Structure formats: structure tokens, C-alpha cells
Structure 1
Amino acid sequence: MEKQVEIIVEGKVQGVYFRKSTKEIAQLLDITGFVKNESNGNVLIQASGTATQIDQFITWCKTGPPAAGVTNVTTQDKELEAFNSFEIQK
């Protein structure tokens, strides 16, 4: 069963290839949605997939790519949207 979550990642997460790495991991896990930088320095992710896929994805988000310094990850279930792929939004 598909589910969708909003993930907010805080810390040193901009300028460290977080969005690019997030897209690569999402594609490996067959997750759809998007990732974008927020003006407050956080990264916002909308992700759709199975519960197992989403759990694995959230686990990765808690560490991120090697140069990142994640300090907090919050998640919230969202209403399912139809995403065709996983994209980086500006």
C-alpha cells in the first residue's frame, strides 16, 4: 500500500549535494516525489512509496550524504499525490 510523507531535514543540508543524493536514493528505492531547499536552510521532501520504501528512505535522510550534518528530521503523513518520478525543485 502506497503512502506519502513530508520530510523536513534540518542541519547542514544545503550546499552539500543533499538534493542530488536524495534524488539518487529515491530512484534506487523506487520512491516518487520531490526535494527542494527552503529559505530557512532546511530541505523539504515529499516522498511516495510503500511503507518499507519510505522507512528506508527516512533512515537514509537521518544521515544524508557524507558532507551533510543532519541535526533533526521530522516527518508527517500526507494525502497521497500522483507523482510520476522524483525531481529536484528549485
Structure 2
Amino acid sequence: MQIHAIKARVSGRVQGVWYRRATQERARQAGVTGYAINLADGRVEVLLCGAREDVEAVTVWLWQGPPNAEVTSVESEEIALAEGEAPGAFTTG
């Protein structure tokens, strides 16, 4: 399976509303690895790695987030990962 990877930066009310944890749960359900971390400027950075259709499904979900989130922007880019660079699980930081 070829690994597809997207790095996204999510803006809006996304810190303090369980956004990272909900993203982790959604990614795990989809079989996607990566991470979700808070950034100092109030955004959340998300790395999603896995099968293209699974990564794209979670990327679309990033616009929704958990019930208390108010997402105003999702800036995403496809990134290249060398063999073995994809994380083995989905973590939050």
C-alpha cells in the first residue's frame, strides 16, 4: 500500500474543545496514523498518513471537528514521506 500524507493547519475555535482527541478517534477509526498538536498561534496542526481514500475522508472531517469546535479554515498540503517515515500510530501532543 502506498502511503498518502497530508499536513493540515486548522484555524478557528479548535483548542480547548477536544479537537485533537476527536481527530485522533476519527483517524484511528479510518486506520490513519499521524498526529494532532496545538500550535502557539491557536491553530491545530494535523498530520494524516495512510491510504488515500482514508486520509481524504479524515481531511474532509477536519472542517467539522467535534461539537464545540468552530472551524474557520483548513489549510492542507500533500507531503512526501520516505519509506518508513509514516508514524505507526496517531498521537496527540
Partner residue of 1:40? 41
Q: TM-score when scaled to structure 2?
A: 0.92
Q: Post-superposition shift, 1:82?
A: 2.3
Q: Equivalent residue of 2:50, what SS?
A: strand
The one-letter code matched in structure 2 to 1:49 is: G
- The count of aligned residue pairs is 89
Q: Post-superposition shift, 1:18?
A: 0.2
Q: C-alpha separation between the residues in 2 aligned to 1:15 and 1:27?
A: 21
The one-letter code matched in structure 1 to 2:92 is: I
Q: Deviations over 1:24-64 (max 9, x none)?
A: 00100000011100000000011101110011001110110
Q: C-alpha separation between the residues in 2 aligned to 1:36 and 1:88?
A: 6
Partner residue of 2:80? 79
CA RMSD of aligned residues (A): 0.8
Structure 2 runs not aligned, ≥5 long: none
Q: Equivalent residue of 2:87, what SS?
A: coil
Q: TM-score when scaled to structure 1?
A: 0.95
Partner residue of 2:23? 22
The one-letter code matched in structure 2 to 1:7 is: A
Taking only the aligned residue pairs, the percentage that are identical comes to: 31
Higher strand share: 1
